[in-house]
Structure 1
Amino acid sequence: MEKRTKRFVMAFFAVLILAVAFFNISDYIITCKLKNYLKNDLPQSVEVGYSALSVSSWQGKLILLKPKIIKKGNTSKIKYLQMSIDTLVVDGISYWDYWIHDKISIEMVSISNPEIVYNHNKSVDTKQYESLKLAPIKKRVEIETFKMTHSDVTVFNAQTDSLILNSKNIDVTIQNIELFDKETKNKKALSFESYQLSFENLFYQLNDFENVTVKKSEINNDKIKLNTVTLKTKYTKQKLSSLLTTERDHFNISIDSIELNNQDFGFKQDTLFFFHVPKTILYRAKTNIYRDKLVEDDPTIKPLYGEMLKTINFDFMLKEVVIKNSNISYIERAKADNSGGGISFSDFEATLQNVGNTYKSPEKTTINIHSNFMKSSPLKVDWSFDANDPSGSFLFSADLGTFQTNDINKFSAPNLHVRFEGEILKTYFTISGNASTSRIDLKTKYQEFDIIALRNDGKRKNKLISNILNIFVSKDSKEASDNFRVGSEEDVERDQTKSVFNFIWLNVKAGLLDAMTGSPKND
């Protein structure tokens, strides 16, 4: 019995020693092969360095310390991608799955403290970026957990060295990743079960004039939340005007938070991208827009919103968008002798439905707005259009409560050299039209209305012109049967080089002129 036990113990230790030797030899061989591959077998445009490489075949684990990856242009040999990492860990590699199930299974891929710098060159043919892609996948790959923590990403314009994008403290966790050969039938090339992403202090150069910033984000399968979002023109108003050849708005927009709930995105048949969100909420959006009309007009055709939605080159749908507790200010400068005048919409609340290009007629995009115009006048707007209608048909109706006309003087006096006096008690109007022409039907109730034309200095009254204007305009609406004067105008032509809001204004102006001049008309 003792001999059997002794033999068993000796055999056990022999097997253990052989196993240890086997794994040590395996570790050595794998380490040498990896080092040789990273040194000699990578494409010439790729360089990989590191301070240490550790392999444990027993644990199915690979560790790279201080890896640094550099990608150069195929022809220019200029560095355009650099990635420095504290630690790269691949853990829980399954040999069983590799040999028996013909797949690569990994429990965890962890990347710690990566710093990524990318130099983007717009002039480089996009085909040259194909080398950034991984080689074709010959086996199915499953990764239980992928983590990237405390990441910093910076993107520069390679031609100007200007900053395009930067973000700090990026954390990414993706669960149950599966990668397939693209030729595998009925399978997506890439799929995953869940994801979490957060970042701080995002800066993005939207274009040559505007920048976007996001202070903080929380993103997962169920929600995208962006905190303290801004869109701002990078120049002062005066500097922007000096740079422009045609007019352009100066923006200063800040939003406390944006929430997108239950978002869904991906690729249909691995080709057509889609992005669908059932509900989007914007909290406390403060929008300040300034336009210098002294700069030459932009003669390009401005599409209506329906056309803009229809021409988005992927499936896009925000089923419901809610805007809460927001404010809009628009200032326009039309005279060189002043800084311009403005209009405002406070306590702005809106609900938008079907903001996208995937719905079918007779569904429509609808916009419902409640706000205070010039701080004190309640305004309700109902707006609808069909993005599928090539004619651009729309319906726009509004209900404006009591309005002190001197409030509009902040806009009209500096820009039009006209002031108004009196009180508009109630105004209703409906505009129906398309991308070219429209009709307005308007009714308004007002009292003590007076037009004051100003001299060229924009301050003193021009008595002669004021008296002539007031001959044609009724001072109040009392003569009408229900105290409302009615106006309408057909075939109001749209200036297609102007925005849709200019089109709305042309209709309102035509309706008011018809209502307030001449004899009262029946509704």
Structure 2
Amino acid sequence: MYLSDSKIQKMHFLKKTAIIVASITVLLLLINFGISYWVTQKLPKILQSEKDFPYNINYDDIDVRLISGSFTIHNAYLAPKDSLSTKNKGTFGKIKQIEVEQFNLWALLWQNHIKVKSITIDSPEVILYHKQKKHATQDSFIKPLKNTITTQRITIKKGKLRILDSLQNVTVTASNINFKITNTTIDSASVTKEIPVRYKNYSFSCDSLLYKVNKFYTITLAHIENNEGVFSASDFKLIPQQNRTQFNNSIPVERDQFTITAAKIDIPENDWGYNSDTLFVHIPRLNIEEVDANIYRGKMVKDDLKTKKLYSQMLRELDFDLKVDTLTLKKSTIVYEEQLSYDKPSGKVSFSNFDASIYNLYSPVGKKEIPDTTIDVQALFMKQAPLQVHWFFNITDASDAFTIQGKLQKLDATKLNAVTKGLMNAKTSGNINKVDFTFNGNREKSTGTFAIHYDNLKVEILKKDSNDKNELLSIFGNLIIKNNSNNTMKNTDVAVERVKNKSVFNFLWLFIQQGLKNTALPSLFTTNND
């Protein structure tokens, strides 16, 4: 077959073109392979060469894609550089996959700097073992990277965390950790700040959070989430780690033991951070639903003789900028128990259907004017009697003055036996139709008014260590008790001195006790309990 010169020239051209294309392709493949290999060697060396970087980083495989400017690290492992000499101390981690998008090759080549658009960390499992120097995110993770990595977005998916104490006991666990932070900057200026990472937005969520606060309490949460300033948490539990006897035996002076659960905590908007070096927390509204709180105090423990601060003083002495405009409690129950000895039942005071609104919960930091802090409560006292309370104070008042106004209606006096039987060795019966009081107090004393309307009020004094009635004392008690208020409100002025080593609620009880003493009850029926 005869080929013309033009066809032969064309075939030579195509052949040369194919060879050139093949050569370029092979060259590009070699360059890609070479650069990929270089990158795989260069990345860990950059991190390891950072003198402040405290970790060894290893991985099973890395895929580099030059065209898209991305790479993926598979099965990465993190361990302290001195992990061989300090076994089970410091931070250890295993990461299923690290996806890096749009990394800057020139920054890597000429500046030994890893500059990328985003980093996605998939399924990290991190264990923080105990070490003498406490774990600090700023020192351990942020400062070492200030000259090493720049990124616009960091995402963590499906993470797990465990923190162990010196005895290898778990103090913190969390699962399904998801975290995203955008427009981040870490530099020599930011690392000196309290929050060493500059960012625009962040979101965070996790499940099954457990935090061992101390030897007394553990906190658990089923789910916690914060997304663009909207915070929510569910199934909060503060659980004692000791029974009541163990708790009382482990404290030098008496204190309350708390058991608290809450179905839901919502903060629709929040703003927090640092203004210079001052922490600020600004929350327009905090909602807490279905709180179930039990507060127990054993009086068999030695009294704590330290002066107790009133709430206004506590807020006034906060050293950060706190501003909670409204805090609400809904559909809650609060039970206070006090026990004189282990061979007697505790006295119980309960508040159910408890709804409260607290306004202007502020510290003085960063504020020119501070409105009154006010507390409005509606509840059922002893599961029966409607109770309303209005409480207000101003934290700028150095005398810690406050006012508590209360109204109670339609209480069957037998409901008080849950208190009087354990604490006073007595039972009551009759009807307390209405109680009104205004309690004006400060850190020294209180004055105010007390009024009560009741009928058929009777007392039954019990024999010591028995549920049987002490006939003689009961007769004597009912002779001096004023059984009826004669269809009118019995009013009295009240003035009492504060016992400074007792709580504000003891102060209120002393006031009410004096009002009852003036209007209805004999002196033998009083007590000085918290």
TM bucket, shorter chain: 0.7 to 0.9
CA drift at 1:285: 0.9
Aligned length: 509
Pair 256,124 (structure 1): closer, same or farther in 2 beyond 3 Å: same
CA contact (8 A) 1:181 1:189 kept: no
| Structure 2 residue aligned with 1:88 | 98
Counterparts of 2:443 and 2:85, CA distance in 1: 49
Does residue 231 of the first structure (1) align with residue 241 of the second (2)?
Answer: no
How far did residue 35 of structure 1 move?
4.2
* 2:163 aligned partner: 155
Unaligned runs of 5+ residues in structure 2 are 1-5, 523-530
Q: What is the alpha-carbon distance in structure 1 between the residues aligned to residue 106 and residue 329 of structure 2?
A: 54
Measured in 1, the distance between the counterparts of 2:70 and 2:143 equals 21
| Structure 2 equivalent of residue 328 of structure 1 | 334
Counterpart pick for 1:454 among 438, 449, 462: 462
Whole-angstrom CA distance in 2 between matches of 1:93 and 1:129: 24
TM-score, normalization by structure 2: 0.86
Partner of 2:296: 290
* Distance change >3 Å, CA 338–CA 214, structure 1 → 2: same
* Equivalent residue, structure 1, for 2:197: 190
Q: Secondary structure at the match of 1:68?
A: strand
* Equivalent in the alignment of 1:30: 39
Matched to 1:287, the amino acid is: A
- Cα offsets for 1:405-450 (capped at 9, x unmatched): 1111111112111222221111110111112211131111111222
The equivalent position to 1:349 in structure 2, one of 341, 347, 355, is 355
CA contact (8 A) 1:198 1:218 kept: yes
What is the alpha-carbon distance in structure 1 between the residues aligned to residue 499 and residue 94 of structure 2?
A: 54
| 1:72–1:80 Cα contact (<8 Å) kept | no
3-state SS of 1:116 partner: strand
SS of corresponding position for 2:318: coil
Q: Does 1:64 align with 2:73?
A: yes
**Residue 445 of structure 2 is aligned to residue 437 of structure 1:** yes
Q: What corresponds to 2:344 in structure 1?
A: 338
- Counting aligned pairs with the same residue, the percent is 24
CA distance in 2, matches of 1:116, 1:396: 50
Q: Distance in 2 between matches of 1:142 and 1:81?
A: 23
CA radius of gyration, larger in: 2
Deviations 1:351-382 (A, max 9, x none): 11122315554502111000000111000001
Q: How far apart, CA to CA, are the structure 2 residues paired with 1:284 and 1:128?
A: 35
Q: CA deviation at 1:127?
A: 8.8
Q: Structure 2 CA distance, aligned partners of 1:40 and 1:133?
A: 16
Determine if the alignment matches structure 1 residue 314 to structure 2 residue 320. Answer: yes
SS in 2 for 1:308: helix
Q: Return the alpha-carbon distance in structure 2 between the equivalents of residues 127 and 369 of structure 1.
A: 42
**Partner of 1:401 in structure 2?**
409
Instruction: Tell me what 1:506 maps to.
Output: 510
Distance 1:447 1:176, change over 3 A: same
Asked if the contact 2:270/2:281 (under 8 Å) is kept, the reply is yes
**Alpha-carbon distance between aligned partners in 2 of 1:74 and 1:444, rounded to the nearest angstrom:** 72
From 278, 282, 293, give the equivalent of 1:272: 278
Residue deviations 1:461-512, cap 9 Å, x none?
Answer: 3344444444543222227xxx11112222x222222222111111111122
Is the CA contact 1:451–1:470 (under 8 Å) kept in the aligned structure 2?
A: yes
Asked if 2 retains the 8 angstrom alpha-carbon contact of 1:330 and 1:343, the reply is: yes
Change (3 A) 1:368 1:449: same
- The reply on whether 1:487 has 2:492 as its aligned counterpart is yes
Distance in 2 between residues matched to 1:205 and 1:421, nearest whole Å: 45
Aligned position for 1:261: 268
Contact 2:47 2:148 in 1 (8 A): no
1:12-35, Cα deviation, whole Å (9 max, x unpaired): 777666555444433333322234
Deviation, 1:74, is: 10
Partner of 1:172: 179
**Are 1:374 and 2:382 an aligned pair?**
yes
Q: Which amino acid aligns with 1:91?
A: E
Structure 1 position 10, deviation (Å):
7.9
CA displacement, residues 187-239 of structure 1 (integer Å, 9 cap, x when unaligned): x9533333222111111112220111001123211411111111111122233
Q: In structure 1, what residue type is equivalent to 2:493?
A: S
What one-letter code is carried by the residue in structure 2 that aligns with 1:489?
V
Alpha-carbon distance in structure 2 between the residues aligned to 1:75 and 1:437: 64
- What is the one-letter code of the residue matched to 2:269? N
CA-CA distance at 1:45 after TM superposition: 4.9
Provide the C-alpha distance between the structure 1 equivalents of 2:130 and 2:463, rounded to a whole number of angstroms: 55
* Correspondence for 2:527: none
Counterpart of 1:215?
A: 222
- Structure 2 CA distance for aligned equivalents of residues 185 and 33 of structure 1: 28
In the other structure, the counterpart of 1:245 is 252
Runs of 5+ consecutive residues of structure 1 not aligned to the other structure: 519-523
Instruction: Classify the secondary structure of the residue corresponding to 1:240.
Output: helix
**Partner-residue secondary structure (3-state), 1:93:** coil
Cα distance in 1 for partners of 2:395, 2:165 equals 36
Further displaced range: 84-93 or 289-298: 289-298
CA 1:225–1:131 in structure 2 vs 1: closer, same or farther (change >3 Å)? Answer: closer
- The answer to whether the 8 Å contact 1:364/1:385 transfers is yes
Letter in 1 for 2:511: N
Q: Which of 414, 419, 425 is 1:411 aligned to?
A: 419
- Counterparts in 2 of 1:107 and 1:130: CA distance versus 1, 3 Å: closer
Distance 1:240 1:19 in 2: 72
- Contact 1:72–1:81 (8 Å) recurs in 2: no
Is 1:454–1:461's contact at 8 Å kept on the other side of the alignment? yes
Comparing 424-433 and 14-23, the one that deviates more = 14-23
Task: Give the secondary-structure state (helix, strand or coil) at the position aligned to 1:177.
Answer: coil
TM-score under structure 1 normalisation? 0.87
